[in-house]
């Protein structure tokens, strides 16, 4: 990614001391976003992004940084004093700076995702926390919870499944839950079970979802989603809600106001 050059400025403590003689200008116009490095009075373009989403994301990231490190301009920058940069020659960035950029981008994306679930999904904070704990997509967890219980923590099925993720007492006990009507215990056990099923079926999402509803033995027996109307309908509903949550999250990420993510990881969106 060409914008790795900005990674030297995306730091948490300490790194800014190493940039005493380096400053970045992030300039946005109608066509692109350019990252200009100013080092001891010498300026050169280290990145240019014409893709709308990527360009806007970098500009938003720059708003979370102190002005001592990054300056922003919109349609005011005069390019005449900048040396030309060959578009086919990417800037060479030390590996340490690349790692710093990736780490900070991941932090900011995590803050935005967490804020989305906290504000747009019932029990979203809990869902996001447990999804991170077991490395499961929180959008998938939300889709399963919605399909299983409609986010009602005291839901109970005719066969005895309980709580937000409708676990049977035996399964819940196996996964460490003593009270399945406690949202914390229920979601922890349910997400842990989802992770187990994803690993059990080598990441095949539909098979994992089918096993959550119809049992892993049936999925193994039929070599995929079993021919049960209830299970097939269940898989279709979960996948549809999962994809809808993903669309909502992408829209939310696009609409995050510039400067919404502070250096301490707080999203001040409202």
Catalytic residues: 148
What span, in angstroms and rounded, lies between the C-alpha atoms of 139 and 121?
9
Report which of 236, 233, 239, 200 is spatially closest to residue 219, judged by C-alpha positions.
200
Give CA torsion, residues 53, 59, 64, 68, to 10 deg: 160
What span, in angstroms and rounded, lies between the C-alpha atoms of 46 and 34?
8
Burial of 6 (0-12, 13-18, 19+ CB in 10 A): buried
Q: How many CB atoms are closer than 10 A to CB 242?
A: 21
The single-letter DSSP state of residue 162 is B
């Amino acid at each position: 990614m060409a914008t790795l050059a900005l990674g030297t400025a995306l730091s948490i403590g300490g790194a800014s001391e190493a940039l005493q003689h380096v400053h970045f200008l992030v300039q946005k116009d109608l066509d692109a976003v350019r990252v200009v490095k100013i080092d001891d009075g010498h300026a050169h373009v280290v990145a240019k992004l014409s893709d709308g989403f990527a360009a806007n994301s970098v500009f938003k990231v720059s708003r979370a940084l102190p002005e001592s490190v990054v300056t922003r301009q919109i349609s005011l920058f005069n390019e005449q004093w900048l040396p030309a940069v060959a578009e086919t020659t990417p800037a060479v960035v030390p590996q340490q700076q690349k790692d710093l950029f990736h780490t900070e981008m991941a932090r900011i994306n995590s803050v935005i995702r967490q804020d989305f679930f906290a504000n747009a999904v019932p029990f979203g904070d809990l869902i996001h926390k447990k999804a991170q704990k077991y490395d499961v997509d929180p959008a998938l967890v939300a889709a399963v919870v919605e399909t299983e219980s409609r986010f009602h923590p005291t839901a109970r099925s005719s066969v005895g499944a309980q709580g937000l993720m409708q676990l049977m007492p035996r399964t819940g006990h196996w996964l460490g839950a003593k009270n399945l009507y406690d949202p914390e215990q229920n979601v922890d056990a349910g997400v842990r079970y989802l992770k187990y099923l994803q690993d059990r079926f080598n990441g095949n999402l539909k098979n994992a979802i089918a096993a959550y509803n119809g049992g892993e033995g049936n999925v193994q027996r039929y070599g995929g989603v079993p021919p049960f109307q209830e299970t097939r309908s269940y898989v279709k509903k979960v996948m549809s809600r999962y994809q809808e949550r993903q669309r909502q999250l992408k829209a939310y990420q696009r609409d995050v106001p510039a400067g919404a993510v502070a250096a301490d990881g707080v999203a001040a969106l409202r």
